[in-house]
Amino acid sequence: METLDAGGQRIAYRTSPGSGPAVVFVHGNSSSSAAWARVLDGPFGRRFRVLALDLPGHGESARAKDPATYSIPGHARVVADFAEAAGAGDAVLVGWSLGGHIALSASTRLPGVRGIVVHGTPPVASPADLATAFLPNPAVATGFTGEVSREDATAYARAQLALGSPLPVDAAVAHILATDPEARAALGRSLQSAENADERAIVAGSRVPVAILHGAEEQLVNLEYLRTITSPRLWRGEVQVLPGAGHTPQDETPDAYETVLAAFLDDLE
């Protein structure tokens, strides 16, 4: 792990050995850069210069100095500052779950961004969209609850996999329990804020290609809602559905996930 200063916030991050075009990965709620370990160590990471950061209050990054940082606009400012400080202002942004919402917002602060990939992320225009953008899974509430029990953390981690997945969740549970509780609580309070960007408008008006990926066995995000998202820059003209994956294709179907990411970057070339 390395660290740098991003707008006054100490941010920890991982890098891959690749020397190709830069890709910045933004993890989900109550996770960390460890979510991308397979990608960093695999063929994708050996080919591209991948930087995966720990959001404030997550992983090895310091807790937020300002509680307002624990919001989508606050995290977006940190991600944009991080990319610039790391010499990756022209990166492709890849955001998973909460990280996708952050990546969309951060892209408006980074004029050099070359492309955007989101998954586990329904771009919303306003809080009114949340009821249809997400599936009615009780585990969603854990992402906006401060102190959580191990039982709730385990249910939250399980909901991020395909139903019945044999993958272990011990590492994910540990990250959930280690996350600053205020990062979840403040995020929940911020969802009604007028500062939140219109993400549908960002996608619709994007000057760069935007890829929307979706695990076919997703338990949290509504595919039918995603299919209402339109943009002339939507990659391949539609949502890309990944068979066999739930909310975390980077762990569940890593080979297929890396292949799709590489194809997106190749198309940018």
Q: What is the pLDDT of residues 81-124, one digit of tens each?
A: 999 999 999 999 999 999 999 999 999 999 999 999 999 999 99
pTM for the full predicted model: 0.97
pLDDT score at 26: 98
pLDDT at position 63 = 97
pLDDT for the residue numbered 69: 96
The domain segmentation of the chain, as residue ranges, is 2-268
Residue 240 above 90 pLDDT? yes
For helices 181-190 and 72-85, angle between their N-to-C axes, nearest 10 degrees: 120
Would the pLDDT of 192 be above 90? no
pLDDT classification of 143: cutoffs 50, 70, 90: very high
At 194, is the pLDDT very low, low, confident or very high (cuts 50, 70, 90)? confident
- What local confidence, expressed as pLDDT, does residue 79 receive? 98
142-159 mean pLDDT: 96
Task: Encode pLDDT of 207-230 as tens digits.
Answer: 999 999 999 999 999 999 999 999
Query: Cα separation of 16 and 18, whole Å?
Result: 6
CA distance 146 to 214: 28
Q: According to the model, what pLDDT value does residue 260 have?
A: 98
Q: How far apart are CA 218 and CA 168, in angstroms?
A: 17
**What are the pLDDT digits (tens) for 35-65?**
999 999 999 999 999 999 999 999 999 999 8
Which pLDDT score, from 0 to 100, does residue 236 have?
A: 97
Q: Given CA atoms 91, 36, 127, 215 in this order, what sign does their dihedral have?
A: positive
pLDDT of residue 67: 87
pLDDT for 11-27, tens place per residue? 999 999 999 999 999 99
Share of the chain above pLDDT 70, in %: 100
Which neighbouring-strand residues pair with 3?
12
**pLDDT for 163:** 95
Please check the confidence at residue 241 and state whether its pLDDT lies above 90: yes
Specify the DSSP element, H or E, that contains 37: helix 37-41
The beta strands (E) that lie in the chain are given as 2-6, 9-15, 20-26, 48-53, 92-96, 115-119, 210-215, 240-242
Q: What is the CATH number of domain 2-268?
A: 3.40.50.1820
Main-chain dihedrals φ then ψ at residue 23, nearest 5 degrees: -135, 125
Quick one: 76 exposed, middle or buried, by C-beta within 10 A (0-12, 13-18, 19+)? buried
